Structure 1
């Protein structure tokens, strides 16, 4: 698995091609998936869960719509680190749509790591405790699905909340949030981002995501 990810990262980073995608949640009550596909988008990441009590009410319909339109798709979990263990939240995510299957069209789940209004910065955890929490989530997801989750973060959060940890470079693909004309400096020792969330506004709803490679490499990420 480690050798595959390193090879994939190298190939992705070297590739000139990119693939448009987007991510959505219940804030997008309806999405014209057919139009998005016709415009060139090929993957969708859909909010499934948050913490260990919340399920996104639009997940099922969004997931079905994306599948029917021909997208490679997957779910994401908005982390509440420290409220419950990483393993508990991984189990909750998997139980509510965030699992992975080797069908060629399912992305590994994505763990959304960022601050939330109304909560303490870094969820009140020390840098070492945050790294341990992420690892617990990642390891449980891997033990149950055979895949490591993608990690979504921004450089500021990752530096502040994990001490710019490089603990996940060889296992977890990076989904980098940076709204700019270029990805910029990559945090955490990752050589490249696998997906770049380059804008919080996408024509067909949600945020714009750019896969750093060709469609064949995106399909390889889905296949594992």
Structure 2
């Protein structure tokens, strides 16, 4: 099992060496949201993580509307940050709001692959979305991984299963040395590991 964190501008990291010393091997960072928002802390988070040997990656918070415009915003912002380069975490689509459903996700996967050449893509949602809103069998083929938010305190065992389910956000109040305050903690889900989730 591999352990990681996800970060946005709400998080401050004071000591990346301490983070790495807590057996954290990956950090997924918010890059963009919708068609205009840019997380100004993404570059600092990514460089800090990489500087101590933690694999960095980026996610886009989806809003209803044009998929192409949101992919363009994510790619234009994330490319200079290196998030589509080999060794980075596969790009993530963060699905949390109504109006973003299966058709949006399927189109996102197609367009992000076309624009970046990456084959692996991950989709994040909570248990309610996975069970009541989304139908991953419609679009989660080879190279697509699922990431579930379920804060049950049991890393890697979210209590919901899917053949493509690879990552579990098991706490939004995690404690990690080097990060003041709470942070989201994640663990890979067997049989998947970190190597499966890299570009």
Instruction: Verify same fold: TM over 0.5.
Output: yes
**1:222 correspondence with 2:198:** yes
Q: List alignment gaps of at least 5 residues for structure 2.
A: none
> Larger relative contact order (C-alpha < 8 A, sep ≥ 6)?
1
Deviations 1:33-80 (A, max 9, x none): 210101111000001000010000101111110110111110011110
* SS across alignment from 1:29: coil
Alpha-carbon RMSD: 2.0
In structure 2, the residue matched to 1:202 is 174
In structure 2, the residue matched to 1:144 is 115
In structure 2, the residue matched to 1:175 is 147
Question: Separation in 1 of the partners of 2:170 and 2:34?
Answer: 25
Seen in structure 2, the aligned counterparts of structure 1 residues 37 and 145 have a Cα distance that, compared at 3 Å, is: same
In structure 2, the residue matched to 1:100 is 84
In structure 2, the residue matched to 1:212 is 189
Question: Separation in 1 of the partners of 2:63 and 2:35?
Answer: 8
Are the counterparts in 1 of residues 123 and 145 from structure 2 also a CA contact under 8 Å? Answer: yes
* SS across alignment from 2:31: strand
What stretches of structure 1 move > 4 A for 4+ residues in a row? none
Find the structure with the greater CA-based Rg: 1
Question: Separation in 2 of the partners of 1:111 and 1:42?
Answer: 20
Aligned residues: 186
Are the counterparts in 2 of residues 19 and 213 from structure 1 also a CA contact under 8 Å? Answer: no
Question: Separation in 2 of the partners of 1:39 and 1:91?
Answer: 35
Are the counterparts in 2 of residues 87 and 140 from structure 1 also a CA contact under 8 Å? Answer: yes
Are the counterparts in 2 of residues 19 and 214 from structure 1 also a CA contact under 8 Å? Answer: no
Higher strand share: 2
Higher helix share: 1
Deviations 1:61-106 (A, max 9, x none): 111101101111100111102xx3112211111111164112xx20
Deviations 1:143-201 (A, max 9, x none): 12222420001221234333x34113314101111111331123xxx315211100002
In structure 1, the residue matched to 2:94 is 112
Question: Separation in 1 of the partners of 2:24 and 2:136?
Answer: 32
Are the counterparts in 1 of residues 92 and 123 from structure 2 also a CA contact under 8 Å? Answer: yes
C-alpha displacement of 1:214: 8.4
* SS across alignment from 1:194: strand
- 1:47 pairs, out of 30, 41, 58, with 30
Relative to the length of structure 2, the TM-score reads: 0.85
**1:184 correspondence with 2:155:** no
Q: List alignment gaps of at least 5 residues for structure 1.
A: 1-17, 116-121
**1:19 correspondence with 2:9:** no
Are the counterparts in 1 of residues 28 and 59 from structure 2 also a CA contact under 8 Å? Answer: yes
C-alpha displacement of 1:30: 2.9
